[in-house]
Structure 1
Amino acid sequence: MKTKIKLNGGCSDMKLVRFQEPLLQFGTSQHVDVRFGILNYCPLDFENPRAPRQIRVGVVGSAVSLEGLRDWLERCRNEIPAKESRQPNLFPRFPGFNSDCAFHSELLLDSSLERQISSEELASILKVSVPGEQKVHAARAIVEQVRSLLDKKPPDVIVVALPQELLNAFESPEEGIDLEDETANAQTPAGDRIDFHDLLKARCMSLPRACPIQIVLPATYDASKRRRGRCRNRDVRPLQDEATRAWNFHTALYYKAGGTPWKLTLDPTKPQTCFIGVGFFYTLDRQKICTSVAQVFNERGDGVVVRGEPAVYDKVDRSIHLDADASYRLLVRALDEYRHEHHTVPARVVVHKTSWHNSAEADGFLKAIDEYRIHSIELLSLSRSFTRLFRNGFYPPLRGMFLTLDEHSHILYTRGSVEFYATYPGMYMPRTLRVACDRIEQTPRYLAEEILALTKMNWNDTQFDGGLPITIRAAHEVGDLLRYTAPSDNIPPHYSFYM
């Protein structure tokens, strides 16, 4: 539809359209919602003999956290009732994680797959008075227990049940909270403050025979341990209901064990596309800017991590950029990984980047696709925007609203009111996503619909209205971990290690 919008006291004809909620493909049918899709139609790969029917779960924690998590996982084998709500689609029941329904998989828990951090070791860590050093000591203690689990037959996934004592120490007013649930958006900490979540994952993924790690806070399995109040001038996120916590935990675990819960719906008439996310991060000493790698995704969400190139901050346009050679090498590396995984090259490449593409970057990317004889490439820069629409009534505009500002710039509501939920499932006024078309061959509307679909490819969160497409979200998450690795370190290629 076309709507007249008033801006700065004047009127301008602008195109305003609303996209339908993208469908996802599950085992036997399609659905807009992750939880109802798995509940009714099973995971995408449930008929695949390579799907994880049994997941060997290693657990590291204190005596108390091991027992608490073990009891909760046993409880989650059976149904967790839905939260009482006037929005039943937002808070469905959890069907239970077992071989007879939904996931058609089960967790294998055994004392031989548990490693306990002793009370003496915890006391030693808590005696360290410098917050950063305390986190390094804690990470070292947990990594040694993870190493012990990996020495024999590695489990499929290792769950770190963080002891409450460590969480209390890390949440001091001076340090603030740097440990979020796995579903929280990754944020690179300011200055040189150490993020324990990222430090621990980076150390664990560098171990021989490493497997993905899932960090669990005490409140996940014990609601009485929920955090309250504010810290470092921001609200502590409210605790989710138990069924939602179970959905998020087990969906992430299923993916990290090698499962494929869902994929984007595929139009067979469209060219095979490789989606690449490019972001940037500072090294720990803040002396260098590095590319936070390129994540290569197809419609199944298969992600491959490729270490990026050094970048520079341009003081003229106040943006971070790669030079032409670095852009070329980055895309060549990404396409090599794509060909290694899929035994072919894509017909089309879409690059999502957190800063606009200058001419040098465009030249480098174009050189790479010419070399690989790829038919087309789209270069988009994505960033948060304060441009908003206002809607009569109590709720924000609908998710999927797309506003064209000019030929180059567009605004997309990736978060907003959701018809399927019959509400706006957020705490604050949603910010829009600015989509800048730096070099495109498809229409902006076509590309924006792809972005909206890619916001649903987050295996850490089963509420489907993610604010960022998986390309940019993954770029942030990978960059946050690579800050704690050396350039010479071997890094695992699969995205499951970074989420």
Structure 2
Amino acid sequence: MKLEHIAEPRLQFANGDHVCPRRGIAAFGAFDRSMGTRRSDVILGGVGSATCNEALSRWVTKCSAEIPGDPDANQPNLRIGFPGVNLGHGFDAVLKFSADLARTIKKSEIDEIVAIADRWDRVTKAIDLYYEHIKFLAQNRPVDVIVCVIPDALFKAVATNTRGAGEETLDASVEVTSELNFRRALKARAMHLGKPLQLMRAGSLESNKRGQQDDATKAWNFCTAVYYKAGPRVPWKLEADEHRPTSCAVGIAFYRSRDRQVLNTSLAQIFDELGNGLILRGTPIDMSRDDRVPHLTANQAYDLLTAALNEYRVALRAYPARIVVHKSSNFSPDEIDGLTRAARDLRIDTVDLVTVMDSKLRLFRDGLYPPYRGTRVEIDESRHILYTRGSVWYYQTYTGLYIPQPLELRIVRSEESPSFIAKEILGLTKMNWNNTQFDGKYPVTLGCARKVGEIMKYLEDGDTPQIRYGFYM
């Protein structure tokens, strides 16, 4: 058994690099500041009650100026100040929101929905109400992102957390209840309009509210998310090795229809070297009675990867020299055959196949804190344990609430070393623009699968899904 610690992958920004997205943007600027086609305006639309829209306006104004952090003497890097969204530094952008970009929902309309006894009808009416205003803004105002603020009374009436408390887990197939979910169904309903949504609870716009994140942390996460969604924008990218050939990462996942009448449908998520996510829906698949884990046929694997790589080629005007495919369950012989044939036919030199799953093993170290993020243990040549959550040297603490569960990496085939594969996965955990705290658990290739699958469930067969990841965040 071999053990090593992988150094925290560095991120590239406009004028420098750093391990932390917040420090990097504040000191060196968002990566895409140097792109000639980039627009500096981020125009927000707003949908909510009059009180909600006023609160959103105040919040956007607050985010345009510096917000002091809430530093701890023992963890000075965990909660740093927010530099403000304005020209000349940081994001080098301007958030724009005004009365003519807002649509007001009447209090009487909210009261009427809250009073509906049947939950399905209640959620359906709320979706219809918000969709009407989203559609107007998307079709009649030059907005980049539409922020939907949910009044607390309505939130309590329509929101349901279908996931129990506890540590995040990685499933072979996205399974959620058939219950109508307001957030997911609204995003699916409005997807064809071509404007990403940002949903917020009204209470989260209150300043330094007890039980919430401090204002600086909220500003970091909100502004980074809408900046990315307003895309194509690149807040940061993984530091590139100029001596290595171009590479892209692909995640393959599955989701089941809400009524469970349709078996699992395949889903491909491909991320280029800038971290831009492209989402593709595959075809329904059958499952063997003897194996309840979904698998692709050889032809389905071939078609799915070919379609994903063709989207990559359209975006970057060339195929990558290498691809790495991540899957949260073991690769079947048919899947291996289909994926390798697709890569060979597209003249891609290198194909690496890696299963990424939650591990049942745990490591312990002296003291009160768990192993360091980046700890890799080699069980044998093809099986490895990787801690992506754990004590973080940069933060000088462990930020989680539970004993962290490491990942198990099963390297099916690879031209790269296990250390390189693990470092690559560690780096991909930092490519989540919904959260600027960089110690995420899963690589974005698989970590976004649940979000995408949960929204895809609400699309009809004839609907065309958006391919940009920003529509599913």
Give me the TM-score of the superposition, normalised by structure 1.
0.90
1:311 counterpart = 2:285: yes
Q: Which residue of 2 aligns with 1:241?
A: 214
| Aligned 1:281-430 pairs, distance under 5 A | 281-430=255-404
Distance change in 2, residues 1:410/1:315 (3 Å):
farther
Correspondence list, 1:91-490, <5 A: 91-170=79-158, 175-176=160-161, 190-207=176-193, 210-223=194-207, 239-258=212-231, 259-490=233-464
Q: 1:70 aligns with which of 32, 57, 62?
A: 57
**2: CA distance, partners of 1:24 / 1:444:** 21
RMSD (Å), alpha carbons = 2.0
1:278 partner SS: strand
Q: Which runs of 5+ in 1 are unaligned?
A: 1-13, 227-237
Q: Which amino acid in 1 is paired with 2:369?
A: Y
Aligned residues of 2:162 and 2:177 also touching (Cα < 8 A): no
Distance 1:74 1:178, change over 3 A: farther
Deviations 1:438-487 (A, max 9, x none): 22221222111100000000001000001010100122221111000012
Q: Given the superposition, is the C-alpha separation of residues 189 and 377 from structure 1 closer, same or farther in structure 2, using an over 3 Å criterion? A: closer
Distance 2:170 2:45 in 1: 24
CA shift in 2, pair 1:425/1:354, >3 Å? same
The CA distance in 1 between the partners of 2:119 and 2:320, in whole Å, is: 47
> Once the 2 structures are TM-superposed, how far is the Cα of residue 317 of structure 1 from its aligned partner?
4.1
Identity fraction in percent: 40
Q: Are the aligned partners of 1:178 and 1:197 in contact in 2 as well (CA < 8 Å)? A: no
1:41 aligns to 2:28 (yes or no) = yes
CA distance in 2, matches of 1:178, 1:108: 34
Letter in 2 for 1:411: I
Distance 2:114 2:404 in 1: 39
The answer (yes or no) to whether the contact 1:292–1:476 under 8 Å persists in 2 is no
Question: Structure 2 vs 1, CA of residues 470 and 176 (structure 1 numbering), >3 Å: closer, same or farther?
Answer: closer
SS at match of 1:321: coil
Q: Which amino acid aligns with 2:416?
A: Q
Equivalent residue of 1:476, what SS? helix
Give the unaligned 5+ runs of structure 2: none
Task: Give 1:179 shift.
Answer: 12
- Is this contact kept in 1: 2:264–2:294, CA < 8 A? no
TM-superposed deviation, 1:292: 4.6
Shift in Å, 1:386: 2.5
Deviation at 1:177, TM superposition (A): 6.3
Task: Confirm or deny: 8 A CA contact 1:399 1:418 kept in the other structure.
Answer: yes
State the distance in 2 between where 1:450 and 1:109 align.
38
In 1, Cα distance between the equivalents of 2:448 and 2:72? 32
State the secondary structure of the residue aligned to 2:185: helix
The CA deviation string for residues 39-93 of structure 1, in whole angstroms up to 9 with x for no partner, is 1000001132322311111001111211112112212211111114121100100
**SS of residue in 2 equivalent to 1:254:** helix
Partner-residue secondary structure (3-state), 1:350: strand
C-alpha displacement of 1:299: 1.9
> Within 2, Cα distance between the matches of 1:385 and 1:314?
25
- Aligned to 2:407, the other structure's residue is in SS state strand
Cα distance in structure 2, aligned partners of 1:419 and 1:225: 29
TM-score normalized with structure 2 length: 0.94
CA offsets, 1:286-323, max 9 Å, x none?
12233352111122101111111222334434421111
Report if aligned partners of 1:412, 1:432 keep a CA contact under 8 Å in 2: yes
The verdict on how the C-alpha distance between 1:427 and 1:55 changes in structure 2, with shifts beyond 3 A counting, is: same
Contact 1:280 1:289 in 2 (8 A): no
**Contact kept? 1:161, 1:218, Cα under 8 Å:** yes
Structure 2 CA distance, aligned partners of 1:484 and 1:75? 35
| Aligned partner letter, 2:301 | S
Aligned to 1:32: 19
The Cα shift of 1:264 comes to 0.6
Report the residue type matching 2:107 in the other structure. Answer: S
* Contact map agreement 2:370 2:390 (CA 8 A) in 1: yes
Residue 37 of structure 1 and its aligned partner are, at CA, apart by: 0.3
Find the residue that maps to 1:312 and give its secondary structure. Answer: coil
Q: What amino acid sits opposite 2:224 in the alignment?
A: T
1:224–1:402 Cα change, 3 Å = closer
**Comparing 262-271 with 291-300, which one deviates more in the overlay?**
291-300
In structure 2, the residue corresponding to 1:457 is in which secondary structure?
A: coil
The superposition leaves residues 390-440 of structure 1 with CA deviations (integer Å, 9 ceiling, x where unpaired) of 011111100000111122221110011001101111111111111111222
Match in the other structure for 1:8:
none
Partner SS state of residue 313, structure 1: coil
1:185 Cα offset (Å): 9.0
Q: Distance in 2 between matches of 1:459 and 1:362?
A: 31
43-52 vs 216-225, which moves further: 216-225
Aligned length: 467
The 10-residue stretch of structure 1 (284-293 or 420-429) with the greater mean CA deviation from structure 2: 284-293
Aligned pairs (5 A) from 1:48-87: 48-86=35-73, 87=75
